[in-house]
């Protein structure tokens, strides 16, 4: 059984980025999107005009929070061999009803990949007052080019 991390959300959060569950590299480092070939941080830093990407995880989180962006996962825990979402089983979703009650400023949810969207909608459906964006996964398993991922991801900031 593997567990997701605590959410990086505060009272200023307006946009929530949701992955499915941290991969092996992230779990080992206890940092979101820690795999060196994952494009998430490079995309965020490029979109927020803060290149180069800071090496310190705390500074990465601070950058997101300065732009009212939070970070969490759809699943609280699951069983999974390896890092691929397709291998997930016996999953339990995080408590989004309570989270959205506690943080009513969240008006956009951005899914990092189709699997996170699938798990969220299966459990919660469309929540009133929230706009959803399903982005291509930033995982290295998604072979789409960085530039193409960046193009898609730029849409939620408009």
Residue 108 confidence class, pLDDT cut points 50, 70, 90? very high
- Calpha distance 90→158 (Å, rounded): 36
Q: Give the H or E element holding residue 76.
A: strand 75-79
Which pairing describes strands 75-79 and 2-3: parallel, antiparallel, or unpaired?
Answer: antiparallel
- Calpha distance 84→23 (Å, rounded): 7
Query: Taking the model in full, what pTM does it have?
Result: 0.94
Cα dihedral 136, 63, 28, 43, rounded to 10, equals 30
Mean pLDDT for 59-69 is 97
Mean pLDDT for 3-11 is 96
| Burial class, 67, CB count within 10 angstroms (exposed 0-12 / middle 13-18 / buried 19+) | middle
Read off the pLDDT of residues 19-43 as tens digits, 9 standing for 90 and up: 999 999 999 999 999 999 999 999 9
- Calpha distance 63→129 (Å, rounded): 25
CATH class of the domain comprising 2-157: alpha beta
Domain regions of the chain by residue span: 2-157
- Name the DSSP class of 8: B
């Amino acid at each position: 059984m593997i567990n997701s991390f605590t959410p990086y959300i505060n009272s200023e959060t307006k946009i929530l980025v949701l992955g499915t569950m941290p991969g092996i590299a992230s779990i080992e480092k206890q940092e979101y999107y820690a795999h060196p070939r994952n494009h998430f941080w490079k995309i965020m830093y490029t979109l927020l005009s803060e290149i180069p990407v800071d090496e310190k995880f705390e500074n990465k989180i601070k950058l997101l929070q300065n732009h009212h962006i939070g970070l969490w996962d759809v699943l609280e825990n699951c069983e999974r061999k390896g890092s691929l979402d397709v291998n997930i089983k016996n999953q339990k979703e995080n408590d989004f009803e309570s989270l959205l009650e506690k943080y009513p400023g969240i008006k956009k949810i951005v899914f990092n990949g189709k699997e996170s969207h699938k798990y969220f909608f299966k459990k919660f459906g469309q929540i009133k007052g929230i706009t959803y964006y399903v982005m291509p996964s930033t995982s290295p398993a998604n072979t789409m080019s960085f530039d193409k991922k960046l193009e898609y991801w730029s849409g939620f900031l408009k």
